[in-house]
Amino acid sequence: MRNAHHYIAVTILVAIVTVATYFALLLIGPLPLQASTQSLDIDWLLNLEMQLTGFFFAIIVVPLFYSLFVFRRKKGETSDGEHFEGHSGLEITWIAVPLIVVVWLGIIGADNLRKVTHDDPQAMQVTAIAFQWEWQFVYPQGFTDEKLYLPVDRPVLINMESRDVIHSFWVPEFRIKQDIVPGRIMEYRVTPNRVGTYKVRCAELCGTAHSTMEEEVIVMEQAKYDAWLAQRTAEAVAAQATEAADPNPSATRGERRYSENGCKACHSLDGSHGIGPTWKGLYESEVKLADGSTVIADDAFLFESIKEPNAKIVAGFNVNAMPDFGLPDRQIADLVAFIKTLK
């Protein structure tokens, strides 16, 4: 018992450093507000991990520095230190206890994942399309919007697609992050529980303008969402009726498709340099190709360049610089009509 005071001192110091480390972590990395039911489970697990991080940090650092300070060689001491043999019980303990903790964390982590990804057959569905460097949201009612509108306290299933490279859908307030892999439909389940405006960001480095790939997520009361949905649905029906009555290419529709299909992410309208060639003054201009030849940007060339981006590669650009968006011929014709107005 002659060393009991050392054990007591170390225990007290471990407790103090554990608490101090935990609160330091809270101060250093404050989380954004919780805006989904999933964030409650995720934050609970993260909070537990920070507490354990503080404890394990303390249980390593405190005995180390305590030993260096208390058991250091004093001035005038010349004898050897006390001889110690190995302690089998201690060695077994520090192997078994961490193993139990890791298994325990794996179990509660798996249970947390089960809660977050719970399948709700009554969930509202929206399709999110990611491409360099824009987001596009398609609603079942047949219209598209650049912003994601969601009702509060209602489960939502977002079916996510990528048209080019790997992107990642991340709303910090929702906590969940999901990669979007080309060629696959990825599922993202969330139940927003706080009205407000948030940002969806791409959390996977996806190219030159990755840092600007963000858009608003607007969570509304159910009544306001229903009113918004009814208005947008009526507008979509009216636009479809107008389009059906006018089979000719329309520059007005082309301008709308320029925004809806993400063309604005790469092609400017004012002559400024962008990811792709500017559309200002493009029509009937002379375009130099990668093979050294030149062509005139007439209707046929523009239509082909949108429908089959790799058919003719413009000088200064690589193959697959523009993805194949798979647009219907009628939409492409509208885009060409719009380009023709940009003198």
Segment 215-264, tens digit of pLDDT: 999 999 999 999 999 998 888 888 777 777 777 788 888 888 887 777 87
At 126, the pLDDT band (50, 70, 90 cuts) reads very high
The pLDDT of residue 198 is 95
Averaged pLDDT, 1-16: 83
pLDDT higher than threshold 60 for residue 1: no
At 2, the pLDDT band (50, 70, 90 cuts) reads low
How many residues in the chain? Answer: 343
From 283, 290, 279, 281, select the one nearest 317 (Cα to Cα): 290
Percent of the chain surpassing pLDDT 70: 99
From 331, 332, 292, select the one nearest 312 (Cα to Cα): 292
- Condensed to tens digits (0 to 9), the pLDDT of residues 265-302 reads 778 888 877 677 888 888 888 888 888 888 888 888 88
The pLDDT of residue 308 is 86
Q: Which CATH superfamily is domain 247-340 in?
A: Cytochrome c-like domain (1.10.760.10)
The CATH number of domain 124-242 is 2.60.40.420: yes
pLDDT higher than threshold 90 for residue 107: yes
> Among all chains, which residue has been given the structure tokens 């439909």?
185
The pLDDT of residue 317 is 80
Averaged pLDDT, 317-321: 76
pLDDT higher than threshold 80 for residue 49: yes
Q: What are the angstrom distances between the C-alpha of 68 and each of 3, 25, 64, 124, 126?
A: 16, 26, 6, 61, 60
Averaged pLDDT, 5-24: 90
> C-alpha angle with apex 44: 41 to 47, nearest 5 degrees?
150
